[in-house]
C-alpha cells in the first residue's frame, strides 16, 4: 500500500506515485463531466514533486495544483475545442466503429498531470487505446496537443 503523504482539502489523500510524482484522485461534478460507465466520477491527478519537497513549499505546490485544476475544469469546453482544432496528425483509431461519432462528443476527461508549478496537461480518452493530451501554460491557455500511446 502506498503511503499517504498529505491530506488536502480538495485533492483529498495525496500519495507518492514515484520518486518525482504525487498521485491524488478527485471527484468531478457530473454537470462538468458525465460519470464513467461504471458510475464513478473520479479523475486522476499526477503532480510533479521532487522527493525532498516538504513544509510550506509542499503545501504551496498542492494549493497551486488544485487552483490550476479548478480553472481547467471551469474552462473545460474551451480546452476540448482546442483539442479538436489541433488534433495531431498521428491520431488514429483502433476502433473504427467508434470514430463515426464526432471527436468532440467522444472526448472524456481522464485526468490531469501538473508537470511544473505553473504548467499542466489535461488528458482525454476518445474511445480508442490512445489518449489525447492538451498542454496548458501558466495562464491556463491551451498551448499544444499530442497523442499519448
Contacts of residue 6, Cβ cutoff 8 Å, sequence gap at least 6: 13, 14, 22, 58, 59, 62
Span 53-74, pLDDT tens digits: 778 888 999 999 999 999 999 9
In the predicted structure, residue 124 carries a pLDDT above the cut 80: yes
d(CA 56, CA 112): 23
Model confidence band, residue 24 (pLDDT cutoffs 50, 70, 90)? very high
pLDDT at residue 51 is higher than 80: no
pLDDT of residue 118: 77
Query: Tens digit of pLDDT for each residue in 30-44?
Result: 999 999 989 999 999
Question: How many Å apart are CA 76 and CA 133, to the nearest integer?
Answer: 13
Show the cell assigned to 114.
501538473
Q: Which residues contact 73 (CB under 8 A, 6 or more apart)?
A: 28, 32
Q: According to the model, what pLDDT value does residue 67 have?
A: 94
Whole-number mean pLDDT of the chain?
89
Amino acid at each position: 500500500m502506498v503511503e499517504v503523504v498529505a491530506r488536502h482539502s480538495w485533492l483529498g489523500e495525496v500519495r507518492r506515485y514515484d520518486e518525482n510524482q504525487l498521485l491524488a484522485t478527485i471527484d468531478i461534478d457530473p454537470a462538468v463531466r458525465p460519470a464513467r460507465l461504471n458510475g464513478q466520477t473520479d479523475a486522476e491527478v499526477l503532480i510533479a514533486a521532487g522527493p525532498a519537497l516538504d513544509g510550506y513549499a509542499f503545501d504551496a505546490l498542492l494549493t497551486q495544483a488544485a487552483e490550476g485544476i479548478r480553472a481547467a475544469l471551469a474552462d473545460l469546453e474551451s480546452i476540448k475545442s482546442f483539442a479538436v482544432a489541433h488534433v495531431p496528425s498521428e491520431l488514429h483509431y483502433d476502433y473504427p466503429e467508434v470514430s463515426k461519432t464526432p471527436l468532440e462528443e467522444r472526448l472524456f476527461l481522464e485526468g490531469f498531470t501538473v508537470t511544473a508549478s505553473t504548467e499542466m496537461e489535461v488528458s482525454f480518452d476518445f474511445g480508442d487505446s490512445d489518449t489525447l493530451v492538451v498542454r496548458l501554460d501558466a495562464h491556463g491557455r491551451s498551448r499544444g496537443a499530442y497523442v499519448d500511446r
